[in-house]
Amino acid sequence: MAILNLTPDSFSDGGKHSLDPAQIVQTVREMVKHGADIVDIGGQSTRPDAEEVSTQEEMERVIPAIEAIRKAGLTVPISIDTYRADIAKAAIEAGADIINDVSAGTLDADMFSAAATLNVPIILMHMRGTPKTMNSLSEYKGDLITIIAQELSARVTAALAAGIRRWKILLDPGVGFAKTGAQNLEILRQFDALRRAPGLCGCPWVVGPSRKRFVGAVTGESVARERVWGTAGAVAACIQGGADIVRVHDVLEIGKVVKMCDAIWRGVH
């Protein structure tokens, strides 16, 4: 899953991608050429302490981009990275295929009903609070993996109750969201156990360690775009633990890591 942030303030690539439709199409063509199977488009930063933008501004960033990609004849699946139901609905109508909600339906009460009506896959990520408050909510009283599993399972239950089919649900452990660096490492270390936790078995998993602060803390790189090699190690751990999709910035480089990991652990080459 290739990351295409159409934001000025994302932690790693804020302002990198132009809002010009022709340039967006060219960027997506390159991502697909380099091995992207899905392109994840976002119009609002969810980095720690990020300021919320208006629904209108988010809409103006992502909808023309999706329309341009489809008008250009590109058929790569698109996921819309949003926690707003109105954005998700407009994006799917414009040609997106998947909803990627970092809040797992907690920040917009209409998200689950919208996803059920649209009948599209939805990624439910574990997060506490909002991007503005999540860093203050990283205390887990008990076993980290057990608590994340319980909280994520509760969101699965809520999604099912809203009419979303279980086979439309993908899960994300929320690396970097309401987690300390040590907790992020523990998630990767115990990822296989998390996948097998009660209420979560059988769902596909998405993991996004790409360029995150905990990677830089280990490798000594303060600049996010320089964390490619550290990200490669984290991605290898994700795949070894059973991840089905990895969400990354560096598609060409990490694509090679994915191919090698698949050959080692899944016999696919």
**What's the token pair of residue 197?**
């936790």
Give Cβ neighbours of residue 223 (< 8 Å, ≥ 6 apart).
216
Residue 247 a catalytic site member: yes
**H-type helices in 18-143, by residue range?**
21-33, 55-71, 85-94, 111-118
Catalytic residue selected from 89, 155, 211, 247: 247
Q: Compute the distance between CA of residue 262 and CA of residue 21 in angstroms, rounded to an integer.
A: 34
Has 212 been annotated as catalytic?
yes
Question: 168, 212, 213, 227: which is the annotated catalytic residue?
Answer: 212
Residues 187, 151 contacting (CB under 8 angstroms): no
From the list 196, 158, 151, the residue with the least C-alpha distance to 174 is 151
Task: Name the maximum alpha-carbon separation found in the chain.
Answer: 50
**Could you please report the per-residue DSSP string of 216-248?**
HHHHT--SGGG-HHHHHHHHHHHHHHT-SEE-B
Q: Pairing state of beta strands 78-81 and 39-42?
A: parallel
CA atoms within a 13 Å half-sphere pointing along the CA-CB vector of 138: 17
Q: Which residues are catalytic?
A: 212, 247
